[in-house]
Structure 1
Amino acid sequence: MGETKQRIAIDMDEVIADTLDKMLERYNREYEDTITPQHLHGKKLRHVAKCGDQVSRFFDDPLFLRDLKVLPDSQDVIRELQTRYEIFIASAAMEVPASFAAKYEWLKEHFPFIPNSHIVFCGDKSIIDADYLIDDHAYQFARFRGQGILFSAPHNVEETRYPRVHNWRDVADMFLK
């Protein structure tokens, strides 16, 4: 029998998919505002937006998630990670059930090398049995049994409890050297 590979679970939004860019673009257009990622230092868009929590309604549009940009280097690094680790995409899609189809289609388009059996739509990510979880939300690490690795985003800049990566080159340095 072969050696068991360690598992890395990877979040989708703000880790491989540039959700923030699309949210800012749509918010600024609809509300005639000029918020940039720099305005979000330690905050989420809903904390600074004129409409507050209503920005979450963007996710009610099933097409909103379909044309997100892929974060730079994520595809190449994840492909390389697969040679040494078992890779899972773990999205807390239960927060927005209308997003399932769009998230799945986006993943199949941009990450076709991730098998369906390695795509997990869940709520509480502590259910994921992995050695590492790369996520932009530190609260996902609270009950996760493995090592949480924080992927930098404007809303988490003040979080200091977990190892941090700023981009996919940092991920490669951490796992592939």
Structure 2
Amino acid sequence: MAQKRLLVDMDGVLADTYQQFFRLESNITGKKIQREDVIGVSEADAFPNYLSYVHKAGFFRDAPVIENAIEVMKKLNNVYDIFIVSSAMEFPNSLREKYDWLQEHFPFLHWKQIILCGSKIPVQGDILIDDHFKNLDYFKKTTLLYTQPHNMGRDKGHQRVNNWKEIESILL
């Protein structure tokens, strides 16, 4: 029997891009924004300099890994046919930075398991873990909504997961 195909988003699921936004906002503007300040607000609206941040060299390369992601992904990689599916065309620097970030933090994933794309709509599998409704809403099978401030207060029929330990308990 073939393994189930598990699709995993990168930004906001594996990579803690919110920590990048908070750090840059503090360093560049001096404003100390907290998670609770941006609940239910899109990233672009929460961070006035959003576009300059995501176009800044190193933004995607230097993001910290979300707690427990590496350990749980190693376990999942033994059970599922895993693909990292990440939008990388909108911000051209991100293409190389995301690949390098994955090679550093998730070296157990083969390059053939990485899909850096423009739209995720054509990519299908059995399970999708993502933090954006724009990616989950079209998906035809099981969806796991990874909690991030921008998606709090709305679930739209997706099963919410708050951390990697919850994902581990659901999928293993």
TM class by smaller structure: over 0.9
Of residues 111, 119, 133, the one that matches 2:114 is 119
Q: Does 1:92 align with 2:90?
A: no
Aligned residues: 171
User: For the Cα contact (< 8 Å) 1:6–1:131, is it kept in 2?
Assistant: yes
Residue matched to 1:81: 76
Q: Does 1:61 align with 2:56?
A: yes
Measured after TM superposition, the shift of residue 62 of structure 1 is 2.5
**Residue 89 of structure 1 aligns to a residue in which SS?**
strand
Q: Percent identity?
A: 32
Give me the whole-angstrom Cα distance separating, in 2, the residues matched to 1:158 and 1:119: 31
User: TM-score, normalising length from structure 2?
Assistant: 0.94
Gaps of 5+ in 1: none
Letter in 2 for 1:65: F
Give me the whole-angstrom Cα distance separating, in 2, the residues matched to 1:119 and 1:48: 29
Residue matched to 1:171: 167
User: For the Cα contact (< 8 Å) 2:145–2:155, is it kept in 1?
Assistant: no
Q: Does 1:24 align with 2:19?
A: no
User: TM-score, normalising length from structure 1?
Assistant: 0.91
Letter in 2 for 1:137: H
Gaps of 5+ in 2: none
Give me the whole-angstrom Cα distance separating, in 1, the residues matched to 2:46 and 2:167: 30
Listed one character per residue, the Cα deviations across residues 11-34 of structure 1 (whole Å, up to 9, x for unaligned) are: 001101011101111012211211
Measured after TM superposition, the shift of residue 47 of structure 1 is 1.7
Measured after TM superposition, the shift of residue 66 of structure 1 is 1.6
**Residue 89 of structure 2 aligns to a residue in which SS?**
helix
Of residues 131, 146, 149, the one that matches 1:154 is 149
User: For the Cα contact (< 8 Å) 1:137–1:156, is it kept in 2?
Assistant: yes
**Residue 94 of structure 1 aligns to a residue in which SS?**
coil
Measured after TM superposition, the shift of residue 146 of structure 1 is 2.2
User: For the Cα contact (< 8 Å) 1:125–1:144, is it kept in 2?
Assistant: no
Letter in 2 for 1:83: N
**Residue 64 of structure 1 aligns to a residue in which SS?**
coil
Letter in 1 for 2:33: I
Letter in 2 for 1:160: D
User: For the Cα contact (< 8 Å) 1:127–1:144, is it kept in 2?
Assistant: no
